[in-house]
Structure 1
Amino acid sequence: MGTILKSPEIKGDIVHVARDNYGNILVIDDRKHRILSFDSVFEQSKILRTAPQVPVHEYNRAMLLPLAFTTPSKVTVLGLGGGALAHGLFTLLPEASIEVYELRRKVADIAREWFSLPESDRLDIHIADARVAVDNLPEASTDMILTDLYSSDRMSPAQSQRQFIKACSRALSARGWLVLNYHRMPEPDGNLLRELRRQFPLLLVFKSKTNNWVIYGHKQAIDPLPAEKARLNTLEARLPIGWRKLVNKLSRLAPPAE
């Protein structure tokens, strides 16, 4: 789209608009950033224009934190957006295979064209409903699952369903990690956290500046904290997102009250 429109909500210029059966897809530029939005109010993805591999949102950065403790060979991402997570993983894991499941083909096209998502045999994007895709993943077939499923104005209900958590757990290897981005903290005695505790011996949590809650489930009971400083320095050299500061905000999820 050649015409540049001014967005009244997100600061910047709308430089591209697409539409599919699910609604609008907007690309917005400000001086430093490129933003993906579905409605011009909420930012789905945000990258530095001069360094598109660097995610800007703190919760996106936090979702990468399991790499402070493990080096997966196979990673699965549910929900592409502008590709901030996928691009960050691609940069951090030069030997890993990354599979992404994205519902909207036009979102994937825009991630490649406007957000510099790499074209590589190591980065495979499937156009599919992530809720169905995770059910069909082979058992113990991936080392890490990162799920960030949102529409224009809400989180996908799938992320808070016990069956979804069970399907993710089944697909993870024995040393696997599940990373979930929630718009609010689940109820401490609710079904979701009960299922997470049932499936994962170790649960960690991160609260972002925007009040997103990232929950991490690890298939092993080994507590990885504190992270090795040398490893954090290596990660920071590959992707400068402030690894030490992020890791310091991690906490163990408290057990349920008796």
Structure 2
Amino acid sequence: MLAEKPPKTNRRPAHANCLNTFAIWTRTAEPASLNLSVSDAISNHQQGRLLFSGSDLGMPIQVRQWQQLRWLHFDQHSIEACIDLDSPASLTIPYTEAMVLAAALKPDAQQMLNLGCGVGSFERYFNHQLPQLSITSVEASALIIDLAKRWFLLPENLRLYNCAAEEFLKQERQRYDLIFCDIHIADGHPNCLDTLQFYRHLKQALQPSGLLVINVLPRDNDQLLRWLLLIRDPFTHLMLLPIDNKQNCLIFCFDQSPPDDLEIIERASQWDSRYGSNLLHHCDSLVRLPVPP
């Protein structure tokens, strides 16, 4: 889910304050590039033709289309997903491409777990780019799954479970090379993100050499700091990736030492050359948290 950054105040963004709290280095990112037509669509949710209107968990939900773009949104402040019908496998939302950096850092991954399938953006992308990657998908909302199949070209024959992420992890015994966790609904988050048990279950589901990436939408510095302290319990190595001009912040979690900066840049460059993405741009914003003594 993509969340616009709240109106400017005298307070610094939550992730900026938290970086200072951890006394870590940071680098300035270049402005994000976003196709103008996509930007227009997601900045005005009421544009386009209404395809579906309903509610999920008490929240209004709509599917709309403008030219080749089709999107799903919960309210006037957030976009859940967007598909370019002329290029269904492309990732149109900035943070989703940034999350793919995790795959570039694990080029040998064979098993992936996607918590928060949504309308299947990552499933379409990886089915096209890495058809050999076996994906297990989890989505808590039956309505979202139905809309994904009806309006968003959700790939067939998916290993897709309709249940909450925390319930899936409690019962899962398989270990994965790569885990994506994007389980926000509108601009909120499920209670499991505030529990240590959830991150310990994520650790148990990850191969020792695997990589977990989590999309969070911190409302303030304190909330981000609480999440980082919880995640730090099972995971020794953490890296942050704030998304330009958005509330989103990605947390990359490793149990083993992550690649050094030069190797990250090299792998991102290789991915960009092969798949036409722009991961190098996001590398400039990566921030390493210090390893605890």
Q: TM-score, normalised to structure 2's length?
A: 0.75
Correspondence for 2:155 among 118, 135, 144 = 118
Q: Is the 8 A contact 2:192 2:198 kept in 1?
A: yes
Show structure 2 runs of 5+ residues with no match: 1-42
Task: Give the aligned partner of residue 278 of structure 2.
Answer: 242
Q: Is the 8 A contact 2:175 2:206 kept in 1?
A: yes
Alignment partner of 1:199: what SS? coil
Change (3 A) 1:21 1:230: closer
Kindly indicate whether residue 134 of structure 2 is the aligned counterpart of residue 100 of structure 1: no
Kindly indicate whether residue 123 of structure 2 is the aligned counterpart of residue 86 of structure 1: yes
CA distance in 1 between counterparts of 2:230 and 2:156 reads 37
Kindly indicate whether residue 204 of structure 2 is the aligned counterpart of residue 170 of structure 1: yes
Report how many residues are paired: 248
Q: Is the 8 A contact 1:76 1:98 kept in 2?
A: yes
Name the structure where helix makes up a greater proportion of residues. Answer: 2
Task: Give the aligned partner of residue 163 of structure 2.
Answer: 128
Change (3 A) 1:211 1:192: closer
Alignment partner of 1:53: what SS? coil
Cα-Cα RMSD: 2.7
Task: Give the aligned partner of residue 30 of structure 2.
Answer: none
Q: Is the 8 A contact 2:71 2:81 kept in 1?
A: yes
Kindly indicate whether residue 230 of structure 2 is the aligned counterpart of residue 198 of structure 1: no
Name the structure where strand makes up a greater proportion of residues. Answer: 1
Q: Runs of 4 or more off by more than 6 Å in structure 1? A: none
CA distance in 2 between counterparts of 1:219 and 1:186 reads 25
Change (3 A) 1:238 1:23: farther
Q: Which amino acid aligns with 2:180?
A: L
Q: Which amino acid aligns with 1:192?
A: W
CA distance in 2 between counterparts of 1:65 and 1:99 reads 19
Equivalent runs, 1:148-187 vs 2, <5 Å: 148-184=182-218, 187=222
Q: Is the 8 A contact 1:236 1:243 kept in 2?
A: yes
- How far is 1:164 from its partner? 0.9
Identity of aligned residues (%): 24
CA distance in 1 between counterparts of 2:279 and 2:167 reads 33
- How far is 1:241 from its partner? 3.0
CA distance in 1 between counterparts of 2:175 and 2:225 reads 29
Show structure 1 runs of 5+ residues with no match: 1-6
Change (3 A) 1:188 1:230: same
